[in-house]
Structure 1
Amino acid sequence: MLKGIDPLLNADLLYVLRAMGHGDDLVIADANFPSETMATRKLIRMDAADGPRVLKAILSVMPLDDFVPDPALRIAVVGDEGSVPEVCAEYGTLVSEASGGKVQLGQIERFAFYERSKKAFAVIATGETRLYGCILLKKGVIRPGE
């Protein structure tokens, strides 16, 4: 146990978050996502946790990139891009809260999400069973004094 660190952040995940650099991508994937296939670098399994719980823990220690327009992206619903699944609404709230309202959750087409996932620093496979429960995060910087 560590003081001030969410206990969901295990040693493997903390290592990945610390090793990532500015601009690196991290995928939080739902249970249906082809995580083993997409994780070309590192796969972390967190099957007992749902997506929002994992996202909240990660955002407690990882800054989002404020040099790009969309540092947090979800998969757009196929055939209904205007739809916002419940899990994605939860992601949007968590992203907004963690960034002090500076970042809104964007969306990206499914196969474009897959391509970005293959290049991600790591993929975290969660036990999230709700469809479209995947999110891609771009790591930001911590400025001096923060």
Structure 2
Amino acid sequence: LDHVMEQPVMMMGPLPEDKANPEIASAYQKVHDGYAEIVQAHYPDTAPIAQVDKYDFYDRTKKAFAVVMTGDVRIYANLILAKGVTTW
């Protein structure tokens, strides 16, 4: 992960109506906590996962270098990971 960016890991924040739904809010928290645990295990100096607005998240994905589709189909299980300069 990028060590210069303030927030190299981002998730779409839950929509207000989803925050009000206990089932969806709980599912979101499980996804967030699971990803946070993985990030901290492998990149302990990384800032907490940033929650970004839905449309900001969509704009950022349009500008992504690569998009990886995983098998995780849970609600809000989408991440943006930022990596700085790489050398081959």
Which band: TM-score by shorter chain? 0.7 to 0.9
Q: Is the 8 A contact 2:9 2:50 kept in 1?
A: yes
Q: Is the 8 A contact 1:72 1:137 kept in 2?
A: yes
AA paired with 2:77? G
Partner residue of 2:22? Answer: none
1:87 aligns with 2:31: yes
TM-score (norm. length: structure 1): 0.48
Partner residue of 2:69? Answer: 125
Work out the CA distance in 1 between the residues paired with 2:45 and 2:5: 15
| 3-state SS of paired residue (1:126) | coil
TM-score (norm. length: structure 2): 0.76
Structure with larger RCO (C-alpha < 8 A, sep 6+): 2
Q: Which runs of 5+ in 1 are unaligned?
A: 1-63
Runs of 4+ in 1 over 4 A off after TM superposition: none
For residues 19-34 of structure 1, what are the structure 2 equivalents within 5 Å? none
- Tell me the CA shift for residue 101 of structure 1: 4.0
Q: Is the 8 A contact 1:74 1:135 kept in 2?
A: yes
Partner residue of 1:68? Answer: 5
Identity of aligned residues (%): 31
Q: Which runs of 5+ in 2 are unaligned?
A: 20-24
For residues 1-146 of structure 1, what are the structure 2 equivalents within 5 Å? 64-79=1-16, 80=19, 84-140=28-84
Work out the CA distance in 1 between the residues paired with 2:6 and 2:62: 21
Partner residue of 1:37? Answer: none
AA paired with 1:70? Q
Greater strand proportion: 1
